[in-house]
């Protein structure tokens, strides 16, 4: 069995790697290739291109890399033609993955979407692409299958979010957490995102907020959690510039340290957090850590995106709760005062902090369902082995043969 996977971000790389392990437990001789990152390589996949290194967002960034994306589409198509896999598994990363799905469909390769993009939040019209090019949607959130069914996509099942699997299996560095707890002072964790552009846009606001809170609460320590050493070096530069500007306004330098590869440990020991929006919010929920969510974009990007945003919240935790348990700011302005206000409340009012912690813990009890990766592996293998008799009514996009010419006609009209 040969499976081609495509994951374009660090979180997707990890989800794909764990899916490889889950499938290999069931099919030991399965072979894996595709686009991804170091986690997929460690899991035994043959990497055609390190797509994680190209993680980009927003329109201009995509345009600047258009030649590379076009080459990746052609390269994937050649893989499907010359060494046809039994399945293609896409992991989040909409945009490029839609094109990979098109080419797989043209070559008659079944397509599975694991951790599908949140179309219900901002791009509902793209459900047509799911109908045309995806055989089975492996949904992360419990309300997604119904959303797809209402729009004519019957081939969607809820398996859960794989992030909960990874959290359950994660080992923390106890020596590090013990050393941090020994300080005996409140700790605020700053999580500036896993993408370079996220750091550049969000970290200046987060650093300025730290300086403002330090003026009110000089006892508070701050820890910045970076994905890796390259981001740590960039964070040092950004924070130095932001604090220099803050000093001009009479703000003190906060007691702040920058770490790489320490995100789980810092979340465990922190009293409060400021975080960029992303799947890390699920980890923050698991630890019941009071958190403010920030996502800073350029005014033009926000103006373009606003008409397409259909979800009530941008944060997964708030979506699961259908309430704003984590105050969130999708914004183009400086909201450092808001970040400080929430943090000061949680640090200074034990009852307010206890209420937030209790709400997050209650949501964790109902929403944190482990086993998503195993369920996804079972669903993929079941479809590849053929529908069971009781499932004979299932008809995915590959229920009939389709010519390359008809696909190209469909592409032209999509």
Asked if the model's pLDDT at residue 294 lies above 60, the reply is: yes
pLDDT value for 398: 40
For 114-162, the pLDDT digits (tens) are 999 888 876 667 889 999 999 999 999 888 999 999 999 989 999 999 9
pLDDT at site 88: 98
Res 65: pLDDT: 67
CA-closest candidate to residue 368, choices 291, 286, 289, 294: 286
**Six token digits for residue 358:** 């209790």
Domains contained in the chain, CATH given = 2-160+371-413 (3.40.50.2000), 174-367 (3.40.50.2000)
Query: Token pair 């409340």 is at which residue?
Result: 345
pLDDT for the residue numbered 64: 60
97-112, pLDDT tens digit by residue?
999 999 999 999 999 9
Tell me how far apart the alpha carbons of residues 214 and 204 are, in angstroms, rounded to a whole number: 15
- Crossing angle of helices 10-26 and 162-169, in 10° steps, is 80
pLDDT (0 to 100) of residue 369: 82
pLDDT score recorded for residue 349: 97
* Number of Cβ within a 10 Å radius of residue 223: 23
The fraction of the chain above a pLDDT of 90, given in percent, is 71
**Mean pLDDT (whole number) for 210-235:** 96
Please report the pLDDT score of residue 220 as a whole number: 98
Answer yes or no: are the C-beta atoms of 32 and 20 closer than 8 Å: yes
39 with 16: CB under 8 angstroms? yes
Q: Using 50, 70 and 90 to split pLDDT, how confident is the model at 393?
A: very low
pTM as predicted: 0.74
Question: CB neighbours (10 Å) of residue 83?
Answer: 11
Contact indicator for 133, 397 with CB cutoff of 8 Å: yes
Tell whether the model's pLDDT for residue 278 goes beyond 80.
yes
pLDDT value of residue 308: 65
Q: Is the pLDDT of residue 57 over 90?
A: no
What integer is the mean pLDDT of 253-281?
95
What value does the mean pLDDT of the chain take? 88
CA distance to 7, 8, 21, 37, per residue, from 14 (Å): 9, 10, 11, 8
The pLDDT tens digits for 179-218 are: 999 999 999 999 999 888 999 999 999 999 999 999 999 9
Please, are residues 112 and 356 in contact by the beta-carbon 8 Å criterion? no
Rg for the chain, CA atoms, rounded = 22
Q: What is the mean pLDDT of residues 382-389?
A: 74
Question: What Å distances lie between residue 59 and 97, 196, 297, 356, CA to CA?
Answer: 16, 15, 12, 36
| Residue 358 in this model has a pLDDT that exceeds 70 | yes
Work out the end-to-end distance of the chain between its first and last CA atoms, rounded to an integer number of angstroms.
31
The 10 Å CB-count burial string (b at 16+, else e) for 230-269 is ebbebbeebbeebbeebeeeebeebbbebbbebbbbbbbb
Reply yes or no on whether the pLDDT at 264 is more than 80. Answer: yes
Q: What percent of the chain has pLDDT over 70?
A: 89
């Amino acid at each position: 069995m040969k499976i081609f996977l495509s994951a374009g971000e660090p979180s997707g790389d990890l989800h794909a790697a764990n899916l490889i392990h889950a499938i290999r437990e069931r099919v030991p001789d399965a072979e894996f290739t595709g686009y991804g990152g170091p986690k997929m390589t460690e899991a035994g996949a043959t990497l055609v291109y390190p797509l994680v290194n190209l993680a980009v967002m927003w329109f201009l960034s995509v345009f600047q890399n258009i030649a590379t994306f076009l080459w990746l589409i052609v390269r994937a198509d050649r893989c499907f033609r010359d060494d046809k896999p039994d399945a293609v598994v896409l992991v989040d990363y909409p945009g490029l993955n839609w094109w990979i799905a098109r080419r797989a469909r043209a070559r008659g390769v079944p397509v599975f979407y694991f951790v599908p993009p949140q179309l219900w939040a901002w791009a509902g019209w793209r459900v047509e692409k799911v109908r045309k090019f995806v055989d089975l949607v492996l949904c992360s959130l419990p309300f997604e299958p119904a959303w797809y069914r209402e729009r004519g996509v019957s081939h969607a099942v809820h398996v859960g979010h794989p992030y909960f699997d990874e959290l359950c299996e994660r080992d923390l560095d106890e020596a590090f957490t013990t050393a941090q707890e020994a300080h005996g002072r409140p700790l605020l964790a700053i999580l500036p995102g896993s993408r370079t552009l996220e750091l550049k846009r969000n970290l200046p606001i987060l650093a300025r907020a730290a300086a403002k809170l330090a003026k009110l609460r000089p006892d508070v320590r701050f820890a910045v959690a970076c994905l890796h050493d390259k981001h740590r070096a960039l964070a040092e530069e950004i924070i130095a510039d932001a604090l220099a500007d803050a000093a001009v306004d009479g703000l003190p330098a906060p007691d702040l340290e920058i770490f790489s590869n320490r995100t789980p440990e810092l979340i465990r020991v922190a009293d409060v957090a400021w975080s960029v929006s992303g799947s890390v919010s699920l980890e923050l929920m698991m630890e019941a850590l009071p958190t403010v969510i920030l996502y800073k974009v350029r005014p033009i990007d926000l103006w373009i995106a606003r008409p397409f945003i259909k979800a009530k919240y941008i944060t997964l935790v708030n979506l699961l709760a259908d309430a704003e348990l984590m105050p969130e700011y999708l914004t183009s302005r400086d909201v450092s005062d808001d970040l400080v206000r929430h943090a000061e409340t949680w640090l200074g009012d034990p009852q307010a902090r206890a209420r937030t912690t209790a709400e997050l813990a209650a949501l964790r009890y109902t929403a944190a369902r482990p086993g998503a990766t195993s369920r996804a592996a079972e669903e993929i293998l079941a479809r590849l082995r053929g529908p069971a008799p009781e499932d004979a009514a299932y008809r995915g996009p590959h229920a009939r043969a389709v010519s390359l010419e008809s696909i190209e006609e469909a592409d032209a009209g999509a």
